[in-house]
Amino acid sequence: MRTGVGLGCRDGVEAAGKPDWGGRHLAEQAEANDGYVSLPALLARNAKKFGASPAYREKEFGVWQTWTWLETAEEIRAMALGFLSLGMEKGDYVAIIGRNRPALYWSIVAVQSVGAIPVPLYQDAVADEMAHVLDNCGARFVVVGDQEQVDKVLEVQDRVHDIAHMVYLDPRGLRKYDHSRLHSMQDIQAEGRAAHERFEVDLAARIDALTYDDTCIMMYTSGTTGRPKGVVLSNRNVIETSKNTSEFDHLRSTDDTLAYLPMAWAGDFVFSIGQAYWTGFCVNCPESADTMMTDLREIGPTYYFAPPRVFETQLTNVMIRMEDAGRFKQWLFRVFMAHAKRVGPDILDGKRVSFWDNFKYKLGDLFIYGPLKNTLGFTRVRVGYTAGEAIGPEIFDFYRSIGISLKQLYGQTEACVFVTQQPDGEVRPDTVGVPSPGVELKISDDGEVFYRSPGVFVEYFKNPDSTADTKDAEGWVATGDAGFIEADTGHLRIIDRAKDVGKLHDGRMFAPKYVENKLKFYPNILEAVVFGSDRAFCTAFINIDLTAVGNWAERNNIAYASYQELAGHPEVYRMIREHVEEVNVSVAADEMLSGCQIHRFLILHKELDADDGELTRTRKVRRRFVEEKFGDLLTALYDGSSEQYTETEVTYEDGRKGKITATLEICDAAVQGGERMAAE
Amino acid sequence: MNDMSPDGYTTADGRKIGKVLMEMKNITLRFGGVIAIKDISFDIREGEIRAIIGPNGAGKSSMLNVISGFYHPQEGQVYYRGEVRPSLRPYQVAQQGIARTFQNIALFEGMSVLDNIMTGRLTHMKAGMVAQAIWRGKAEKEEFENRQKVEEVIDFLEIQNIRKTPVARLPYGLKKRVELARALAAEPQLLLLDEPMAGMNVEEKEDMSRFILDVNDEFGTTITLIEHDMGVVMDLSDRVVVMDYGKNIGDGTPDEIRNNQAVIDAYLGVAHD
């Protein structure tokens, strides 16, 4: 267990005495090239330029601990030297698995310094998924966070390409393990420091040898449709993209961000390393996944990033707590939120509003919005993004109306994340913005979105067929999403996954995501999967949100013993049916998509889970898989039965399997304009 | 009884167990006419996980209370580190390096988790009441040191997210963990756990077992526990004492106990004369 507070201070001073461990020469070379060609080069620049400003913070033992850029550079140097003494070679693949911690971020750059290629993996992946990725990239080294990850890697090591060494951060529980090929990071760093005379020159030479077109990192796609593919990104991809987008949003070296999204996700890499190294801002790591909300409040990031799911959860929590508040507070909340909804977005965009509206908004800020933002940890947010999936307009507007500059971003791992983003002042819930700097867009004849940019990936690892399918000779990449560019504004609008958009029997358009997002706006609905392609009408699987529905059940004296029982409760069904019918009314209003109204639905007896393969690790629904797995339920939705018995295999967190059985009720929902449909 | 060298033994998984830390010699405990413990002898060795099991009313908790100095046996002696331990008050026992958790959670419900765990450090606080009140000099320094130790325990037991939550708002399983944290904060040589898994679901039991093993592994703490869940006991402990009607009916490794006829009879039932 690490005991030192502010570890690395002494070493940082030491490093200050001799700052040119290859860095100076390198910086000169890079300046001559009018740019920095690798992340280690940027690190050397930052150590010089921002030396004493914070680069990383992590909450440990209840106290925020800080590492400056100078200290960070020293830590990374020690790691890189340690890796050299372990025998890491240029071109080796190094898997990195664990929760967001400074030392893991450092290990990425240390691996690059040596000339090897970092491959971050999803830490919550079950052993089987991990085996696929480890084997696919042929990882020779693995850097992990703790015992849990060590165990998983040991479990699959027979099935994968030879792993030479494994390095862990947290020694807890690992004392009795065989340490012939297992090392603690502290030991590796100490070894690196001790061996610096032997390897210093070699390390400097290796950093110098890095070119703009060398591989920077390999990220695995989340795999909505099949096995994850390794996306190879070059230094050019990462640095150009980080530079362009940092300038687009005027990021500053004094900004703070909270790193809590999976390290294996391209977004986290580009924000917490790419942009952070380019701009020199500080990356803050929470104490543990459970303390994320508290840590968010304590740090108060100025640059914040979250998938829609996080914003949904936060909003749900606010609403639940408001329901428990006194009547006066509820009234105050209602009045001011209504006002914010009306004028808030305009004020945020700098548009003029009447004096009285402005005054009332300021009052609201004093009583409601300010304290609310403080509770949520959003007081200081200057640039906020949501991406990964479409966000419900109501959720989006809620945050913007209370003065949080939340914008949308559309991207892909293959593009180094950024494809389009919304400029300040042009933010709307229904578009994903204009092309990011350097990105060209085109829409193919069948409506699919293509892009070309400096961020476009090099290739899929060991998969030329897929590479050719996705990227053409001119560098245009297919997104797999259907969309169109608005003629007057130039904003891109995404309709749905191109593969998911289909037609109903009668030829009307079917876009499941559109309806699902409307459903998911209701705090009580966590996830929805809508079916209807090549069928006569649409149906849906619904997942209830246990927090919201549980709270509602408590207030209404509805007793339940388990998720399954609550999900099947008639009162819950009645409530969900009301939601579905409201959505139908709103869907019916859209001329083009009025066929997507939900005729029948059921509430699933289990939460869709990535461990069961129903969601990707980034929590997107794997539609085809769900369709197959719950085939019996889907059939029942269409054959008119009123209930269906089903058995489902579930995987527990430790990888064991179990089976749950249930008889699910199937419920009909009223649809709008039914007669018109019948007449057609 | 198993015979082993006075210097200790090596467990199946390769851990070194040391000398005798505590020895019970012919302990008899009576409450009026009721004999709770009848002439029991066994020892606890440094670094081992020692379980006391038995059917309901066998006298397990009484035994634990004897070890923790809460009850004073009418007959027999308790040897601690080779010396006869006189009748001590519980706080004196705590000062000797023995900490415990309770079958029915005994936390300060209105206080935060952090404050509760801080109370575990009381035996390590030397500053006087006045110094504590004005919080200057020694008291301030002590507070820092103790808080650091408490934070290490919080980190160890992974309860960072409830650090500032009042105990009353916690679910049962977490309260148990906080109780363990408080006992650990005292940095005990001997940790007594009274039914640490009672009322837990499978997952919580797994977590708790992991923590118990980690405590033993990481800090080398000797652990004596009472537990009903046989699977847990057999998996966790190095040696087991089995009690029935206040008597010692078996003592040995989990394997020996599994095959002990007296134990099987006690658990599966047999006609009594």
A-B Cβ pairs (cutoff 8 Å, strict)? 42
Cβ-based neighbours of A398, under 8 Å, separated by 6 or more? A315, A337, A341
CB atoms closer than 10 angstroms to residue B39 = 14
Which has the minimum average pLDDT: A504-518, A589-603, B3-17? B3-17
CB contact at 8 A, A425 and A349:
yes
**Encoded tokens for B222:** 């000797």
Closest by alpha carbon to A79, among A108, A52, A54, A119?
A: A108
Within its chain, how far is the Cα of A409 from the centroid?
12
How confident is the model over A665-670, as a mean pLDDT? 89
Residue B214: closest C-alpha in chain A:
A173
Which residue in chain A has the smallest CA separation from B163? A62
Residues of B in contact with A176 (CB under 8 A): 13-15, 217
Tens-digit pLDDT profile for residues A166-194: 999 999 888 888 999 999 999 999 999 99
User: Residue A208: what residue type?
Assistant: D
- Contact between residue A418 and residue A412 where contact means Cβ atoms under 8 Å apart: no
Nearest-CA distance from B159 to chain A in Å? 9
Taking all residues of chain A, what is their mean pLDDT, rounded to a whole number?
87
**Cβ within 8 Å, pair A290-B154:** no
Distance CA A643, CA A197 (A): 73
B12 shares contact with chain A (CB less than 8 Å)? no
Nearest chain B residue to A654 by CA distance is B203
A175, A290, A654 member nearest B161 (Cβ): A290
The predicted structure's pLDDT at residue B88: 83
Residue B226 C-alpha, separation from nearest chain A C-alpha, in angstroms: 23
Q: How confident is the model at residue A10 (pLDDT cuts 50, 70, 90)?
A: very low
DSSP B52-68: EE-STTSSHHHHHHHHT
Instruction: Find, among B18, B60, B90, the residue nearest to B245 by Cα.
Output: B60
- Centre a 10 Å sphere on the Cβ of residue A389 and count the other Cβ atoms it contains: 17
d(CA A500, CA A480): 10
Confidence of residue A406 (pLDDT cuts 50, 70, 90): very high
Nearest CA in chain B to A148: B210
Element (H, E) at A119: strand A117-121
Judge whether B160 is closer than 8 Å to chain A, CB to CB.
yes
Kindly report which listed range (A190-199, A663-672, B186-195) carries the lowest average pLDDT score.
A663-672
Q: What is the pLDDT of residues B140-152, one digit of tens each?
A: 888 888 999 999 9
Per-residue tokens: A175? 């004392």
| Nearest-CB residue to B158 (from A61, A63, A288) | A288
pLDDT confidence of A23, banded at 50, 70, 90?
Answer: very low
Name residues whose C-beta falls within 8 Å of residue A482's C-beta, 6 or more positions apart in sequence.
A447, A448, A449, A494, A495, A496, A497, A498, A501
What gap in Å lies between CA B121 and CA B141, rounded to an integer?
Answer: 14
Q: Does B13 touch chain A (CB under 8 A)?
A: yes
- Cβ contacts (< 8 Å) between A172 and chain B: which residues? 156, 214, 218
Question: What pLDDT does residue A35 have?
Answer: 66
**A219-228, A329-338, A550-559, B40-49: the lowest-pLDDT one:** A219-228
Global pTM value: 0.81
Cβ atoms within 10 A of the Cβ of B183, count? Answer: 24
B217 chain-A contacts, CB cut-off 8 A: 173, 175-176
Q: Which bin fits B8, alpha (ψ -120 to 50), beta or left (φ > 0)? A: left
Check CB contact under 8 Å for A290 and B160: yes
- Give the start-end residues of each E strand in A221-312: 230-234, 256-258, 282-285, 303-306
Q: How confident is the model at residue A224 (pLDDT cuts 50, 70, 90)?
A: low
Chain B residues in contact with A287 by the CB 8 A cut-off are 160-161
* Dihedral angle sign, alpha carbons of residues A613, A616, A621, A627: negative
Instruction: State the best of A2, A7, A59, A61 to mutate against chain B, taking most chain B CBs within 10 Å.
Output: A61
* CB contact B148 to A (< 8 Å): yes
DSSP-H helix ranges across A115-146: 127-137
- Give the pLDDT of residue A1: 37
Of A36-45, A143-152, A619-628, B39-48, give the lowest mean pLDDT range. Answer: A619-628
Asked if B254 and B240 count as a contact pair (C-beta separation under 8 A), the reply is yes
Mutate to test the interface with A, among B154, B160, B216 (most CBs of A within 10 A): B160
**φ and ψ at A582, to 5 degrees?**
-65, -40
Distances (CA, A) of A579 to A130, A674, B73: 39, 18, 67
Which residue ranges form the domains of chain A, and what is each CATH number? 9-299 (3.40.50.12780), 502-679 (3.30.300.30)
Between A3, A172, A288, which is nearest B160 by CB? A288
B109 interface with A at CB cutoff 8 Å: no
Half-sphere exposure of B116 (CA within 13 A, CB side): 30
Can you say how many angstroms the Cα of residue A391 is from the centroid of all Cα atoms in its chain?
Answer: 13
d(CA A523, CA A323) in angstroms, rounded, equals 13
Say how many C-beta atoms besides its own lie within 10 A of residue B218's C-beta: 15
Q: What is the pLDDT of residue A615?
A: 86
In B209-238, the residues whose Cβ lies within 8 Å of chain A are 210, 214, 217-218
Q: Is A625 helix (H, G, I), strand (E, B) or coil?
A: helix
- Sequence-ordered list of residues with C-beta below 8 angstroms from that of A175, at least 6 positions apart, any chain: B217, B218
Contact between B119 and B182 under an 8 Å Cβ cutoff? The reply is yes
pLDDT at A13 over 50: no
Residue of B nearest to A294 (CA): B161
CATH architecture, range B1-97+188-273: 3-Layer(aba) Sandwich (3.40)
Instruction: Find chain B residues with C-beta within 8 A of A260's C-beta.
Output: none
> Could you give the CA distance from residue B198 to residue B105 in angstroms, rounded to a whole number?
11
B140 touches chain A (CB under 8 A): no
What mean pLDDT comes out for the span A544-563? 89
Closest-CA distance of chain B to residue A297, Å: 13
Interface pTM, i.e. ipTM: 0.74
Q: Which residues of A touch B (CB under 8 A)?
A: 1, 3, 59-63, 172-173, 175-176, 287-288, 290-291, 294, 654
Q: Cα separations (Å) of A396 from A4, A382, B265? A: 43, 16, 67
Q: Which residues in chain B have Cβ-Cβ distances shorter than 8 Å to A1?
A: 152, 155-156, 218
Which chain A residue shows the shortest CA-CA distance from B15?
A176
Which segments of chain B have a pLDDT < 70?
A: 1-5, 270-273
Q: What is the pLDDT of residue A205?
A: 94
Smallest Cβ–Cβ distance between A62 and the set B13, B14, B154 belongs to B154
Check whether A478 has a pLDDT greater than 70.
yes
Strand partners of residue A598: A538
Chain B residue numbers touching A60 (CB-CB < 8 A): 155
The distance of A151 to chain B (nearest Cα, Å) reads 14
Q: Minimal Cα–Cα distance from B161 to chain A, Å?
A: 5
pLDDT in tens, A79-92: 999 999 999 999 99
Q: Mind giving me the DSSP string for B245-261?
A: TTEEEEEE-HHHHHT-H
**B9-10 and B16-17 strand pairing:** antiparallel
Cβ distance B163 to A62 less than 8 Å, yes or no, reads yes
- Provide mean pLDDT across the span A441-449: 87
**Would you state the structure tokens that stand for residue B53, as one six-digit string?**
């099991």
- Which three-class secondary structure string do you get for A400-467? HHCCCCEEEEEEEHHHCEEEEECCCCCCCCCCCCEECCCCEEEECCCCEEEEECCCCCCEECCCHHHH
pLDDT number for residue A594 = 83
**Distance in Å, alpha carbon of A152 to nearest chain B alpha carbon:** 16
Confidence (pLDDT) at B112: 95
Q: Which residue of A has its CA nearest to B161?
A: A291
Q: Where are the domains of chain B?
A: 1-97+188-273, 109-187
Closest CA relative to residue A139, chosen from A78, A79, A95: A95
Q: Is the pLDDT of residue A623 over 70?
A: yes
For the record, the structure tokens of A464 come out as 């030329």
Q: Give A2's pLDDT tier (boundaries 50, 70, 90).
A: very low
Coil, strand or helix: which one is A289? helix
| DSSP run (H or E) holding A516 | helix A512-520
The model's pLDDT over A248-301, given as tens digits with 9 standing for 90+, comes to 999 999 999 999 999 999 999 999 999 999 999 999 999 988 899 899 999 999
Q: Report d(CA A47, CA A16) in Å as an integer.
A: 9
Residue A579 CA from chain centroid, whole number: 28
Q: What is the pLDDT of residue B259?
A: 87
3-state secondary structure of A509: strand
Residues with Cβ within 8 Å of A655's Cβ and at least 6 positions away in sequence, in order, are: A126, A127
